[in-house]
Amino acid sequence: MRPCSLRHTALTRYKSDRQKHRGLGGIMFKLWSRRKGSEPATPPRLALAGDPLLPKRPEGPRVPFRYRGPAVILTSEVENISSAALQNAIRRRVPDIHFDKPPPEPANPGQSPTAIGSYPEMVKALEMGRTPLICGVAYNPGINLDGMDKADFVTSCWWWPETRDVVARTKAHAVTIVLGQSEKTPAKERILVEMNLVAAALDVLKSAIAVVWLDANAMWKPDLFLSGLEEAKGEIPVSLAVPVKLGRDTQHLRPDGTPKWFARTEGLNALGIMEVEWRGFGGEVPDLIKWMHGIAWYLVNKGPIIASGESMGTDAPGVMPPVVIRHEDSTTVLGTQAYVVYPQRLS
């Protein structure tokens, strides 16, 4: 690699929202580098993130916002719930949603209790220059399980080995409803609204056994979903919205011939951001997950401002190795680009 001159350093804090999951966090430096000669040399400067004296970073490439479909809440029993109970739970979780009137109750046992409103209410939406989304929850006292045990959101959840057993126990399900011009609603806002719709359903459904979050192709235990949402305190719970998927990297072997790890995030595309990939990782899996989530947290909260070839490191030895991040063709999802991470010593 050609020698680089340090442009400036921004100190940012990443506190993992996976305290129950991995319980690790740290303070991260963002190191911006440019090749020598690209601009006049300036002495390195240390500043806190958000310092108004720091130049605004240009945003990197965005990808089309990808919405894979509604969240699904699986239940182990067919529950007798009312549309009014769903509506009240949604009101508590999403105060800005507007309901015109009490929802109709199902007339027959096989019909779905449903609560649907508009978000935000019409006057507020028009003031914001957008039309309201149609949002709500519908409970279906039945489910078709054919092939679900082979779905990616079941088979790729390494953190929950019992997902197939959970699917086999499922007897009914609820789905979130988010319809309308979602491209006019900020992606983070849309995701938080839908996560709170899920939480409202979990407040009502007593036999809920799993949450399927299709934006990230993942399944979560209901209590973990609720605690993660609560701990995020109104922000995106990165560990839920952007899980890290793992696999054995057979193209990168250890000295004993066993494969190293590869990792890829899933969920950044829902925010219009490229996913993150790390190939040939030979260390401990908890470290890989923590460091991938640190990069994902930065992208979710700061935006796609990591230019190809820039560096990220830490101020604490052992927290995260210095890495260079490049924009490259993905080697795990063909036809896409990703932020590809390369560990590197900075001198």
Asked if the model's pLDDT at residue 329 lies above 70, the reply is yes
How much is the pTM?
0.82
Distance CA 54, CA 35 (A): 19
Distance CA 118, CA 83 (A): 16
Dump the DSSP string for 191-227.
Answer: HHHHHHHHHHHHHH-TTEEEEEEGGGTEEE-HHHHHH
pLDDT category of residue 29 using cuts at 50, 70 and 90: very low
Asked if the model's pLDDT at residue 28 lies above 80, the reply is no
Q: Among 146-160, 194-208, 316-330, name the one with the lowest average pLDDT.
A: 316-330
Give the pLDDT confidence score for residue 35 in this predicted structure. Answer: 36
Q: Among 44-53, 185-194, 328-337, name the one with the lowest average pLDDT.
A: 44-53
End-to-end CA distance of the chain: 11
Q: What is the mean pLDDT of residues 28-57?
A: 47
Q: What is the mean pLDDT of residues 144-172?
A: 96
Give the pLDDT confidence score for residue 62 in this predicted structure. Answer: 78
| Long-range contacts, 52-61 (Cβ 8 Å, 24+) | 54/8, 54/10, 55/8, 57/32, 57/302, 57/305, 58/305, 58/307, 59/303, 59/304, 59/305, 60/274, 60/304, 60/305, 60/306, 60/307, 60/308, 60/327, 61/274, 61/304, 61/327, 61/337
pLDDT category of residue 332 using cuts at 50, 70 and 90: confident
Distance CA 223, CA 210 (A): 9
Q: Which H/E stretch holds residue 93?
A: helix 83-93
Q: Which residue has the higher pLDDT, 11 or 153?
A: 153
Peptide bond into 120 cis (omega under 30): yes
pLDDT tens-digit map of 64-102: 777 889 999 999 999 999 999 999 999 999 999 999 989
Q: Which residue has the higher pLDDT, 62 or 329?
A: 329
Contact status, residue 169 vs residue 209, Cβ threshold 8 Å: yes
Give the pLDDT confidence score for residue 10 in this predicted structure. Answer: 32
> Left (φ > 0), alpha (ψ -120 to 50) or beta: where does 217 sit?
left
Contact status, residue 314 vs residue 281, Cβ threshold 8 Å: no
| Structural tokens at position 95 | 């105060």
Average pLDDT of every residue of the chain:
84
DSSP secondary-structure letter at 130? S
Helix and strand numbers (H, E) in the chain are 8, 15
Give the pLDDT confidence score for residue 38 in this predicted structure. Answer: 43
278 forms beta bridges with 263, 341
Give the pLDDT confidence score for residue 344 in this predicted structure. Answer: 78
Give the pLDDT confidence score for residue 317 in this predicted structure. Answer: 55
Q: Which residue has the higher pLDDT, 313 or 269?
A: 269
Give the pLDDT confidence score for residue 66 in this predicted structure. Answer: 79
Q: What is the mean pLDDT of residues 172-197?
A: 93
Give the pLDDT confidence score for residue 15 in this predicted structure. Answer: 39
Q: What is the mean pLDDT of residues 47-56?
A: 55
Distance CA 75, CA 174 (A): 8
Q: Which H/E stretch holds residue 288?
A: helix 285-302
Asked if the model's pLDDT at residue 334 lies above 70, the reply is yes
